[in-house]
Amino acid sequence: MPPARRFGTATLAVATTFALQRAAARLPASISDALARTNHRGEPVTLAEGPVTALGATLAAVIGVAVVAPRVAAAAGVAGLGAAAVGAYDDVVGARPDQRTDKGFRGHLDALRAGRVSAGAVKVAGIGASALVAGALLPRSRSPLGAAADTVLAATVVAGTANVVNLFDLRPGRALKVGLLAAAPLLAGDRNGSAVVASAVTGAAVTALPDDLGERSMLGDAGANALGALLGVAAAARLGRTGRVLTAAGLIGLMAASEKVSFTAVIARTPALDALDRWGRRPPAAPTTEPAAGVPTAGEPAAEVTAAPTSSRTGEPGHAAGER
């Protein structure tokens, strides 16, 4: 696929995301209030970045690849919009007081045992369903058994990437940087429109990065899950069966590790990763002598506090599948 299409798709993603950012600034008060959070500095941030970035990237990906690979375009639309919708649900409903302990797979299972369906469980199921549909649309074997295997593997890559990118949405700009790094190798060459989809993610992420780093807005689950799902579509569209197996195994390993290991602690202990993580971010808030209840002030603060209505960047809780 010619580089011009990739560049055009990235440009479309930038323009669409920027236009949506402007539109989001004029949302009705009822919607903007539901998306409002307060960060560790006591400053207002908005979760509108998530739906805006998800829509910008998904629309650009679908338009960019529709002519040359219509099934991949459909997969991108299903995966991106599906992840954004259930992620937005979790962003809003999951912030309610009765939902805050339902984090990680263990928390969702505990909620089910208690007769409740957590917002995170709805999100996991929704991402899984949309990933399965997307996987069925992506290239697969012609034999029934091979087609089933290819579909399941592609769905695992899509859902796994959506969840893993969301695992990193714990500090300003971190998930966007991870998304840009993951998209970079997919931009070289092309197969089945994979580079075009990665170009859309790149354009939208670059547009969202200044406000995220400036702590004026944040991706939340809607944005992080959607960008990850689109990257998963790009990866699955490019990879053969062996590549999908290896990628799925790596993603499952990262999700399992997140239950036991703090990714933030690993980043902080690795100088190169720590420097990249801190690049562009504002300095930590200065400690106060009488901190407000629940507001971390020492050292590198948890990115957001947990008292309502607060942002969902709450440090590094044990969570899986992108749950906080």
Q: What is the pLDDT of residues 273-318, one digit of tens each?
A: 999 999 999 887 665 544 444 433 333 333 333 333 444 454 343 3
Q: What is the DSSP letter of 67?
A: T
pLDDT tens profile 155-195: 999 999 999 999 999 999 999 999 999 999 999 988 899 99
Residues in the chain: 324
Those residues with Cβ within 8 angstroms of residue 148's Cβ, 6 or more apart along the chain or in another chain: none
3-class secondary structure, 304: strand
Long-range contacts of 258-261 (CB under 8 A, 24+ apart): 258/167, 258/318, 258/319, 258/320, 259/104, 259/105, 259/106, 259/318, 259/319, 259/320, 260/318
- pLDDT the model gives residue 104: 58
Q: Which of 31-35, 91-95, 270-274, 284-288 tops mean pLDDT? A: 270-274
Distance CA 229, CA 130 (A): 9
- pLDDT the model gives residue 40: 73
> What is the radius of gyration, based on Cα positions, of the chain?
19
Angle between helices 220-238 and 70-93 (to 10 degrees): 160
Sign of the CA dihedral running 242, 248, 249, 250:
positive
pLDDT tens profile 198-220: 999 999 999 999 999 999 999 99
Q: Are 323 and 120 in contact (CB under 8 A)?
A: yes
Smallest Cα–Cα separation from 239: which of 150, 115, 127? 150
Distance CA 298, CA 291 (A): 10
pTM: 0.85
Residue 42: count of CB within 10 angstroms of its CB: 11
Mean pLDDT, the chain, whole residue set: 85
More confident residue, 308 or 134: 134
Distance CA 146, CA 185 (A): 27
Smallest Cα–Cα separation from 10: which of 71, 77, 78, 57? 57
Q: Are 64 and 8 in contact (CB under 8 A)?
A: yes
> Would you call 115 exposed, middle or buried from its count of C-beta atoms within 10 A (0-12, 13-18, 19+)?
exposed
**Per-residue pLDDT at 323 exceeds 60:** no
Distance CA 65, CA 6 (A): 9
Tokens 């790094």, residue located = 181
